[in-house]
Amino acid sequence: MDFKLSDSQEAIRDAVTRICKTFKDDYWLQLDRKGGFPIDFFKAMAADGWLGVCIPEEYGGSGLGITEAAIMMRAVAESGGGMAAASSIHVNVFGLHPVVTFANAEQKRRMLPPVAKGEVRSCFAVTEPNVGLNTTQLKTRAVRQGDAYRVNGHKVWISTAQVAEKIMILARTTPLDEVRKPTEGLSLFYTDMDRKAIDIHEIDKMGRKAIDSNELFITDWDIPARDLIGEEGRGFHYILHGMNAERVLLAAEAVGLGSLALARGATYAKDRNVFNRPIGQNQAIQHPLARNWMELQAAWLMTMQAAWQYDTGQDAGAGANAAKYLAAEAGYSACETAIMTHGGYGYAKEFHVERYLREILVPRIAPISPQLILCYIAERVLGLPKSY
Ligand SMILES: Cc1cc2nc3c(=O)[nH]c(=O)nc-3n(C[C@H](O)[C@H](O)[C@H](O)COP(=O)(O)OP(=O)(O)OC[C@H]3O[C@@H](n4cnc5c(N)ncnc54)[C@H](O)[C@@H]3O)c2cc1C
C-alpha cells in the first residue's frame, strides 16, 4: 500500500497552488464583502487548462481521474480562496459528468470543449423549494412539444445562475402517477440559460458572497429536444452516477478549507504573546489544533480512498459519503478552532477566519446533509431499516 502522491499528482498540486497564490487574501475578502464572480481567477484557471481536468482529451480536457481533481480542488480551497474559489470552477470541473458519460457524440463535441476551455460557465439545477432532499418528488415539468420540451417550474439555491451561460437541469417528463418507480420519469437537459423564460432572484445569504445562489422561476421555457441528455426519463440515474465523485470533490474542498484555517490558527498561536509567552504554549490552545490536524488527516485519507475506489470502478458509495461527512465536520471544527485561537481578532474580517467558518457550512449542508449521510451508512453499510 502506497500513500504517497505520485510525481504527476504532486506536480498538479504545486502548479494549481502557484496560480492560486497570485490571488491574495484581500482579493477574496473584497469579493466576500461586495460580491461579484471571481472572473480573473476563473480565467487564470481556464488559461492553464485546469477546468477540463476530468473532460476526455478528445474534447479538449486532460482526461484525468477524480483523484487528480480532488488534489486540485483541495489546493484551490487551501490556497486562501476557500469555497468561493472552489465553487467558481466546481461545475466546470465535474458538473458535465452526465454529458461525458451519457450524451451522444454530437452533443459531446458541441457541449464539452467550451466548458474545458472556460468559454462558458454552467450551473446545475436540481433543488426545489417544496421538495428538499427527496429528489424523486421534483415538481418542475418538461412536456415534449414537437422539437422542444416546454418547461415550467421553480428551482432554488442554484449557484452561479446570475452569470452562467449554460444550465444543467433535472425536470419531470412523465408524471409521478404514470411511472413504476418515482426514480423514473425525470429527464436531464444541458442547454442555454434563457433569461427571457427564467426569472432569477439572488438569495441574500450567510457567506460565499462571490458565488451567487438563486431562486429560479421558469415559465414556458422551450428547451430544444437536441439538448436532452441520454434517454428521456433516465435523468435521476444519470445524476446518481456522478454523485459519489461530486462528494469526493466536496470532501477535498472541505479538507482544503479546514487545513487553511488550521494553518492560520497555528501561526497565530505562535505569534501572539499574552502573559509574556506565546498563547500556543498553552495546552488549551495546542490540543484543539492538534485534534483538528488528526481529524483533517483522517478525512483526507478517506477522501483519497473514495477517489481511488471511484477511479478504479469499485463501489464508492459508502467511502464517498463517509469522506464528505468526515471532511465537512473536520473542516467545520478547524474553522471554529481558528476563530477561538484568535480570540477577539477571530471575529474581525481582516483576519479571514470568520469568513472560513461561514464558508465551511456550504459543504456541510450541500449537496447532501450530514443527517442523510448517516441515514445512508446506517441503511447501506449496517443493514438497518431505511429511515427516510
Ligand atoms: C450555498 C448553497 C449552494 C447550493 N447550490 C446548489 C446548486 O447549485 N444546485 C442545486 O440544485 N442545489 C444547490 N443547493 C441546495 C442544497 O443541495 C440543498 O440545500 C441540500 O441538498 C439540502 O436540501 P434542503 O435545503 O431542501 O433541505 P431539506 O430537505 O428541507 O432538509 C432540511 C433538514 O432536515 C433534514 N432531514 C430531512 N429529511 C430527513 C430525514 N428523513 N431524516 C433525517 N433528517 C432529515 C436534513 O438533513 C436537513 O438538515 C445549495 C445549497 C446551498 C446552501
Mutate to test the pocket of ligand 1, among 94, 157, 361 (most ligand atoms within 8 A of CB): 157
Verify whether ligand 1 is closer than 6 Å to residue 167 (CB atom). no
Picking from 202, 245, 199, 249, the residue whose alpha carbon sits closest to that of residue 362 is 249
Look at the domain 237-381 and name its fold. Answer: Butyryl-CoA Dehydrogenase, subunit A; domain 3 (1.20.140)
Q: What's the pLDDT at 1?
A: 85
Closest atom of ligand 1 relative to the 213 alpha carbon? 3
| Dist CA 331 CA 24 (whole Å) | 21
- The closest residue, in CA terms, to atom 41 on ligand 1 is 388
Atom number of ligand 1 nearest to Cα 129: 26
Output the CA 288–ligand 1 centroid distance in Å: 29
Quick check: CB of 125 below 6 Å from ligand 1? yes
DSSP for 322-364, please give it: HHHHHHHHHHHHHHHHHHHHHGGGGGSGGG-HHHHHHHHHHHH
Compute, in angstroms, the gap from residue 158 CA to the centroid of ligand 1. 12
Which cell is 268 given? 497565530
- Residue ranges of domains in the chain: 7-117, 122-232, 237-381
Q: Mean pLDDT throughout 332-343?
A: 98
Cβ 213 under 6 angstroms from ligand 1 = yes
Say how many Å lie between the CA of residue 370 and the centre of ligand 1: 10
* In the predicted structure, residue 219 carries a pLDDT above the cut 90: yes
pLDDT of residue 200: 98
132 lines ligand 1 (CB under 6 A): yes
Task: Report yes or no: 172 and 138 within 8 Å, Cβ to Cβ.
Answer: yes
Determine the 3-state secondary structure of 265 from DSSP.
Answer: helix
Q: Is 374 in the pocket of ligand 1 (CB under 6 A)?
A: no
Residues 17, 20: Cα–Cα separation, whole Å: 5
Q: Is 233 in the pocket of ligand 1 (CB under 6 A)?
A: no
Superfamily the domain 7-117 falls into:
Acyl-CoA dehydrogenase/oxidase, N-terminal domain (1.10.540.10)
pLDDT (0 to 100) of residue 27 = 98
Q: What are 182-206's pLDDT values in tens digits? A: 999 999 999 999 999 999 999 999 9
| pLDDT(90) > 90 | yes
**How confident is the model over 148-166, as a mean pLDDT?**
98
Q: What confidence score (pLDDT) does residue 352 get? A: 98
Is 90 exceeded by the pLDDT of residue 62?
A: yes
pLDDT, tens digit, 9 for 90 and up, residues 350-362? 999 999 999 999 9
- pLDDT band of 241, cuts 50, 70, 90: confident
Over residues 370-375, mean pLDDT: 98
Distance 386 CA to ligand 1 centre (A): 19
Q: Ligand 1 center to residue 10 CA distance, Å?
A: 34
If you measure from the C-alpha of residue 147 to the centroid of ligand 1, how many angstroms do you get, rounded to a whole number? Answer: 34
Helix (H, G, I), strand (E, B) or coil at 238: helix
CA–centroid distance, residue 155 to ligand 1 (Å): 12
Write out the three cell numbers for 239. Answer: 445524476
292 CB less than 6 Å from ligand 1? no
Handedness of CA 314, 230, 173, 215 (dihedral sign): positive
Residues contacting residue 311 through CB under 8 Å, at least 6 positions apart: 65, 66, 67
Predicted confidence (pLDDT) per residue in 91-121, tens digit: 999 999 999 999 999 999 999 999 999 999 9
Mean pLDDT of the chain: 97
What local confidence, expressed as pLDDT, does residue 141 receive? 98
Q: Dump pLDDT digits (tens) for 297-335.
A: 999 999 999 999 999 999 999 999 999 999 999 999 999
Ligand 1 close to Cβ of residue 365 (< 6 A): yes
Ligand 1: does its nearest atom lie under 6 Å from the Cβ of 129?
no
Test site for ligand 1: of 32, 369, 386, 388, most ligand atoms within 8 A of the Cβ? 369
Does position 244 have pLDDT exceeding 90, yes or no? Answer: yes
Query: Would you identify the CATH topology of the domain 122-232?
Result: Butyryl-CoA Dehydrogenase, subunit A; domain 2 (2.40.110)
Helix 25-34 × helix 82-90 angle, to 10°? 80
Q: How sure is the predictor about 223, in pLDDT bands with cuts at 50, 70 and 90? A: very high
**Given a cut of 90, is residue 4 above it in pLDDT?**
yes
Q: How far apart are CA 82 and CA 257, in angstroms?
A: 5
Q: Counting atoms of ligand 1 from 1, which one is nearest the CA of 126?
A: 11
